[in-house]
Amino acid sequence: MIALEDDCRLAFCVGVGGVGKTTFAAALGLREAMRGRSVLVLTADPARRLADALGIRGIRDVPSDIPLPGASQGGELHAAMLETKASADEIIRRAAHDEARAQRVLDNRIYQAFSSTLARSHAYAAMERVHETVHDPRYDLVVVDTPPAQSSIEILDAPVRLVRFLDQRVVRWFLQASGDTSQGPVGSIAQRLLRTVGGDSLVSALTEFLTEMAFLREGFAIRAKEVRDLMRSSSTTFLLVSSPDSVGLQSARSVAAEVSARDFELGYLVFNRAFIPEVDLSGDHLAALPARLHDLAPKLAQMRATLAEEQARKLANMEAFCREHDAPAFALPEATRPLGDTSALAAWIDLGRSVQAVT
């Protein structure tokens, strides 16, 4: 059975799309809650699949309480879905330390478009929310369901990206040129072009937005360092979720390389849909069939051989991947019924098997 270390405070579930990452994040949070911990499962995936996995109607930005099935050890399970606009607004209010300055940013039409629609604003808001919830005394553990592949990497980089953006020469040049048309012919031409294309109001809004964001840069830089330190701390772990087929594992290698390149430690490997729990392929013979089904025996034997071959191939793939990455590995079964409630989730993750790297 998969179980995190008791001192783990933050768990990132990363991987490509379509491998059951959201379902696993929900099941992991549920299992840790049933062990007696207070857990928040936070999804940064806009696809809204976490509610389906937990069997509830919907999840909002405000955490929902999820009832635990059967006997538990006094833990609690909560779930929330990141709402970019609400989270971004809270970030600005916190960074500004001044309501009037914060309101100028919130009312700016460039900010309103940025905070509501751009993917990287979603990524930054996600990491800010992670930072906030990890330091919330109500939770012992925060499990983060990241968006698929590239978006999950953007989440990891988002705080640093924002600081780098505010440090870029073009931003400083634009602010200088906006306030002083004597910045040279290039600055004057660019200003005239922007005003011709977008109009005075757009340029003014952009200038005001960049001016306020530049003022808040120091606060963003401090938070970026705090977030990076948090992700590199011993209380944070990364769980890479993948399918056991060769195509899925090739994508998983790319995600693992991205995690490693940022000096984050890959704590666990999880292979989903790795076996069918109800099918025993260990023996050499089919179970005895009634006389009326004897004609089906050759077809059933062929199906059994095909399943056994596929299972052996998956196991070989998983063992090879484990030899490449020194981390505990687990195989999860195919779900033979919908995992749309907490009882089904708990039963499913309890069927997980340890995978060893055979040399």
Q: Give per-residue pLDDT as tens, 41-73.
A: 998 776 667 888 887 877 777 899 999 987 667
184 has pLDDT over 60: no
User: Is the model's pLDDT at 177 over the cut of 60?
Assistant: no
Domain spans in the chain, listed from the N-terminal domain onward: 10-278+286-355
Q: What is the pLDDT of residue 183?
A: 42
Task: Pick the more confident residue, 326 or 172.
Answer: 326
Q: Point out the least confidently predicted range of 123-132, 172-181, 258-267.
A: 172-181
| Residue that wins the pLDDT comparison between 112 and 4 | 4
Looking at residue 49, its pLDDT comes to 77
Calculate what percentage of the chain has a pLDDT beyond 70. 72
* Residue 37 pLDDT grade (very low, low, confident, very high; cuts 50, 70, 90): very high
Mean pLDDT of 94-108: 80
**Confidence (pLDDT) at 46:** 63
pLDDT in tens, 270-328: 999 998 876 666 655 556 667 676 777 777 777 777 888 888 899 999 999 999 998 99
* Residue that wins the pLDDT comparison between 60 and 14: 14
Please tell me the predicted confidence (pLDDT) of residue 169.
Answer: 58
Average pLDDT over residues 169-196: 54
Q: What is the pLDDT of residues 292-302, one digit of tens each?
A: 767 777 777 77
Residue 240, pLDDT > 70, answer yes
CATH architecture of the domain covering 10-278+286-355 = 3-Layer(aba) Sandwich (3.40)
What 3 state SS string does the chain have?
A: CCCCCCCCCEEEEECCCCCCHHHHHHHHHHHHHHCCCEEEEEECCCCCCHHHHHCCCCCCCCCEEECCCCCCCCCEEEEEECCHHHHHHHHHHHHHCCHHHHHHHHHCHHHHHHHHHCHHHHHHHHHHHHHHHHCCCCCCEEEEECCCHHHHHHHHHHHHHHHHHHHCHHHHHHHHHHHCCCCCHHHHHHHHHHHHHHCHHHHHHHHHHHHHHHHCHHHHHHHHHHHHHHHCCCCEEEEEEECCCHHHHHHHHHHHHHHHHCCCCEEEEEEEEEECCCCCCCCCCCCCCCHHHHHHHHHHHHHHHHHHHHHHHHHHHHHHHHHHCCCCEEEEECCCCCCCCHHHHHHHHCCCEEECCCC
